[in-house]
Structure 1
Amino acid sequence: MKARVYKSTGSWYQLKNEAGQTFNGRAKGVFKIEGITSTNPIAVGDWVEVEMENELEKSVTITAIHDRENYIARTSPHKKVQHHIVASNLDQALIFATLKEPRTSQGFIDRFLCTAEAYHIPAIIVFNKADIYRDKELDKYAELEEMYLAIGYKVFLTSVKERQGLDELKLLLKNKTTLISGHSGVGKSTFINALFPEMALRTQEVSGWSGKGMHTTTFAEMFDLPGGGQIIDTPGIRELGLVGISRQELSHYFPEMRELLNNCQFNNCLHMNEPGCAVKEAVQDGRIHLDRYVSYCTILDSIEEKNY
């Protein structure tokens, strides 16, 4: 039987088959996938094969994992050398950001966009809490909106509290599997509850099957949307460590840099101090926003070059 993973606590999984029946499952043995050192070989969003273990208890054993169309990963919060798959088989990712209470840094947004680009997942930026913004924040929003729209990202200004911009977002989610991410306190759960009141209870209760003493906040969970599609709610991410991106590749995940890479004098150009660099030229001409270039340099600095 084929089923999809809706929730995982590391040892137990909540699954749903194509007919919509729910099961609790555990993995059979150890899964090693494509040689990746992941802390969680089975992720929310995965399609798996299961065998019935106990029909009365609705418990199953996961025997195989279907190939993933894509996935998004970050460095493991506990082991920096390993990575943690946040979710898989995604159509898009929504990053929630705020310009106040708490302020999301542009660096965090750019790291997220970079990760989404690396895994071929279209990303959408949502600036929430518009109801508390004064002129200063609204000016900042206008600047960021212009910058991100120019490189091809969709940008929204919302106030979940006042239901501003929610209808447009609701349309975007229809019939798609969407990852929702961002720092704690930016209004992700409030957004889900406002859009789909019938799900409100589900985002607050801790289901009994996962047992006591679980770090429920560290796990993503998928919900079916009324009217079609799924959203995957992720716990607030404090920092987003990039996984498997080398210094050499980083510029490929900045869309505005990607189209200029062939014009650099050196094909291994890092766009820092090299002569004949098309990217630096574009920054000087204002074709690449200086703030994006600063983000690129900061991320480049944070990538440790492995000496192969």
Structure 2
Amino acid sequence: MEGLVLKSTGSWYEVLANDISYTCRTRGKLRLKGFKTTNPIAVGDRVVFELEDGEEQQGVITEILPRENYIIRKSIKKTGHGHILAANIDQAVLVATLVFPRTSLGFIDRFLVAAESFRIPQVIIFNKIDILGDEERQIQQEIIAKYESLGIKCFEVSAKDETGITSVKNQLQGKMSLISGHSGVGKSTFLNLLAPHIEQSVKEVSDYAEKGVHTTTFAEMFIVENETFVIDTPGIKELGLIDIEKEELSDYFPEMREISDQCKFNNCTHTHEPKCAIQDAVDEGLIHETRYMSYLSMFYEEDSHR
């Protein structure tokens, strides 16, 4: 049978097929060609499995069907390995907060690049607008204007008082969406609003460190309603890029991709070369300086191309 992986706990997988949930394992090791991962099977994968002898809802996964896309980050456990957050997704959604805790623009840009490398549409949800002052709200509006100018959809919501939730629900309708974000940004509260049956545990942000407590251990897909799925991922502290060559990094910044062919040198790295169209665009205010700084940070990151 063919099924959709809803949940992975490392050695066992929950697989949905014909509206029935099966508990499956793998027989031996399934290796993917091209790169090393700590999880050969990810949430969102479509797999082939067979029932074990004498079992009605327990099976063995024998094959991973070709992926349309995936989002991967560096493994925090094994050097040189990647960890696939999710596969076969329609859009990548980042829940961010301007304060308590603050989501850095550098982290937002890394998430966007990771998704853009597979041309996965990106969405940013700015949560906790109920605790923003006038000045903070103005700063957030400027940040949103910057990202919307790049074609990225942005929403302002308060999961606490449900402001803006309807618009986000419409954006998720009929799609398979990866939902990610730092611990403490209100991701679990937001998911519980989308569909009360999700029942993700919620913990408060520490006043001392302004950091959330990890409440999600494994990535898991939830059915919001027919043909609408959301994938909840563990709170991510860092998003080390993997499988992106330094020479191609600027291709995943849409505003750079548009003008990079105007550089004097066809192998321009946009870091120091003369007559670089991207550096000129930054100087002229056509490319936001924060985006360029994010590019430099990723470019010079040790082993970012591995």
TM class by shorter chain equals over 0.9
Q: 2:209 maps to what in 1?
A: none
Q: 1:238 maps to what in 2?
A: 237
Q: 1:10 maps to what in 2?
A: 10
Structure 1 residue 178 corresponds to structure 2 residue 177:
yes
- Residue type of the alignment partner of 1:11: S
Distance in 2, Cα, partners of 1:199 & 1:158: 19
Distance in 1, Cα, partners of 2:141 & 2:305: 39
Cα distance per residue 1:160-215 (max 9 Å; x no partner): 11111100110111111000000001011100111212322xx349xxxxxxxxx9
**Closer, same or farther in 2 for the Cα pair 1:289/1:118, shift >3 Å?**
same
- 1:288-299 matched pairs, under 5 angstroms: 288-299=287-298
Q: Per the alignment, in what secondary structure is the counterpart of residue 247 of structure 2?
A: coil
Distance in 2, Cα, partners of 1:25 & 1:4: 11
Cα distance per residue 1:252-297 (max 9 Å; x no partner): 0100000111101111111111011000111111110111111111
Q: 1:119 maps to what in 2?
A: 118
Structure 1 runs (4+) deviating above 2 angstroms are: 54-57, 215-218, 303-307
Q: CA deviation at 1:247?
A: 1.4
Structure 1 residue 187 corresponds to structure 2 residue 186:
yes
Q: 2:267 maps to what in 1?
A: 268
**Closer, same or farther in 2 for the Cα pair 1:232/1:306, shift >3 Å?**
closer
Q: Per the alignment, in what secondary structure is the counterpart of residue 248 of structure 1?
A: helix
- 1:238-257 matched pairs, under 5 angstroms: 238-257=237-256
- The 8 Å contact of residues 71 and 84 in structure 2, kept in 1 or not, is answered as yes
Distance in 2, Cα, partners of 1:96 & 1:56: 40
Q: Per the alignment, in what secondary structure is the counterpart of residue 62 of structure 2?
A: strand
Q: 1:35 maps to what in 2?
A: 34
- 1:188-227 matched pairs, under 5 angstroms: 188-200=187-199, 203-204=200-201, 217-227=216-226
Distance in 2, Cα, partners of 1:217 & 1:191: 13
- 1:84-103 matched pairs, under 5 angstroms: 84-103=83-102
Q: CA RMSD in A?
A: 1.8
Distance in 2, Cα, partners of 1:229 & 1:244: 29
Runs of 5+ in structure 2 lacking a partner?
203-213
Q: CA deviation at 1:57?
A: 5.6
- Residue type of the alignment partner of 1:159: S
Distance in 1, Cα, partners of 2:94 & 2:305: 30
- The 8 Å contact of residues 69 and 89 in structure 1, kept in 2 or not, is answered as yes
Q: Per the alignment, in what secondary structure is the counterpart of residue 251 of structure 1?
A: helix
Q: 1:212 maps to what in 2?
A: none
Distance in 2, Cα, partners of 1:217 & 1:152: 30
Q: 2:153 maps to what in 1?
A: 154
- The 8 Å contact of residues 181 and 234 in structure 1, kept in 2 or not, is answered as yes
Runs of 5+ in structure 1 lacking a partner?
206-214
Q: 2:258 maps to what in 1?
A: 259
